[in-house]
Amino acid sequence: MFFKSSKINEFRLWGLLTTLIGMGLMICGTAGIILWGQTGKIFAGVFMVIGMIAMMISVGVYFWAGMLSTSAVMLQCPECGRQTKILGKTDRCMSCRTKLTLDPDMATAIPDKPAEER
């Protein structure tokens, strides 16, 4: 994981980045009309189309993150005590970014067994 956050939050981050890139491209396109006049309209049209494609990609990324979020396993973080969602075998807490796992082979510390199981 590149940004060291939960997987769902990383998908949302990429959705936000593509939204901002799409909006920036559309704003740069409209600046072409101001700077170049009549020839800037072609420049603006091209950048508007590219910006709209980026915005549609961001809608897809947000939709995908939402669908993954509905099927994610919810558990309570052992560090901060908040409920968090985990995708796959390993993920990070959404609040404190602690590494979490559902696989006992990948766990670093095994908690003690409760008294009734002994």
Q: What residues does each domain of the chain span? A: 1-71, 74-104
Nearest to 14 by CA among 64, 71, 69, 53: 64
Answer with the residue of higher pLDDT: 20 or 40.
Answer: 20
pTM for the predicted model, two decimal places: 0.73
Per-residue model confidence as pLDDT tens digits over 63-109: 999 898 888 888 888 888 888 888 888 888 888 888 888 877 776 76
**Helices 40-70 & 7-36 angle (0-180, nearest 10):** 170
- pLDDT (0 to 100) of residue 3: 57
Look up residue 89 and give its amino acid: K
Phi/psi of residue 112, each to 5°?
A: -65, 150
**Is 91 strand, coil or helix?**
strand
pLDDT bracket for residue 1 (50, 70, 90): very low
DSSP character for 98?
-
**Beta pairing partners, 34:** none
Per-residue model confidence as pLDDT tens digits over 21-61: 999 999 999 888 888 888 888 989 999 999 999 999 999 99
Rounded Cα distance between 92 and 28, Å, is 37
pLDDT bracket for residue 115 (50, 70, 90): low
